[in-house]
Amino acid sequence: MKSKKVGKKKPTARKVTKKTAKKKIRAVAKRKVAKKVAKKVAKKGVKKTTARPSAKKAVSNRAKVVRAMAEAATPLTVRQALVFAIDFEKKVRDRYAKGAEAIKDPQGSKVFATLAKEEQGHVDYLENRLVQLNTTGATTAETLTTILPSTQWLKDAEAKHRNTVSMKRIAEETELELLKEALQAEHDASNFYHDLVRRLPEADRPLFEQFLNIEDGHLAIVQAELDSVQGLGYWFDVPEFALEAM
């Protein structure tokens, strides 16, 4: 009886082996498919991770904007304002001084040299106020003297200049670039002092409010020079502006 039972089980064992083989084949096939899917997912995952830095950068930029806004809203002491203004005026002065050396046209070089001297006068004025503050503990808004042309004077001078020029000159690219940079610098100076005055206590504002009109005058001068050089290729004569350095 036992031998018969064993004989009957042999065919069953063969069937199980075939089924197992088929299952293994199917499992291998599934694993291959799974690997392909995994590769696709991995590639997608790489694309997603490459996008993350830009998102972090965006967050970082927003943080910088928030910090800048916070700084802009922070009140200043007169000492801080003097230090900031001295540093700013020195940069503007150096820009004009370098421009005077770079411009080949004698009249153009003279315009930039005169503006550099004017800015040095601003530096001297501010440094004297800082010394006064360090010595006495207070500052006085001494008059910041300068002679600037009015808007109407500039218009009249420009018309006169156009009538006296007989031939148009082709301005050098360096001249135009330096004038455009100077124009932007004067816009920045105007914004700088407006922001400075806004952040100061009311009692300390008169000292720096003087710079607002002066910088607006510089802006008008540089704009007039740029219009003349772009249009005719010639510079205004500095004495026409009656611009005197301190």
pTM given for the model: 0.65
Distances (CA, A) of 100 to 19, 109, 171, 199, 239: 94, 4, 15, 34, 16
pLDDT-derived band at 125 (thresholds 50, 70, 90) equals very high
Which H or E element spans position 89? helix 78-102
116 contacts 101 by C-beta, under 8 angstroms: no
pLDDT-derived band at 127 (thresholds 50, 70, 90) equals very high
At residue 237, φ and ψ (nearest 5 deg) are -80, 130
d(CA 96, CA 214): 16
Distances (CA, A) of 108 to 174, 182, 190, 192: 11, 12, 23, 26
User: What is the tens place of the pLDDT at every residue in 56-110?
Assistant: 554 555 555 445 544 666 899 999 999 999 999 999 999 999 999 999 988 889 8
d(CA 138, CA 79): 10
**DSSP assignment letter at 105:** S
**Greatest mean pLDDT range, 48-57, 60-69, 146-155, 188-197:** 188-197
Percent of the chain with pLDDT over 70: 59
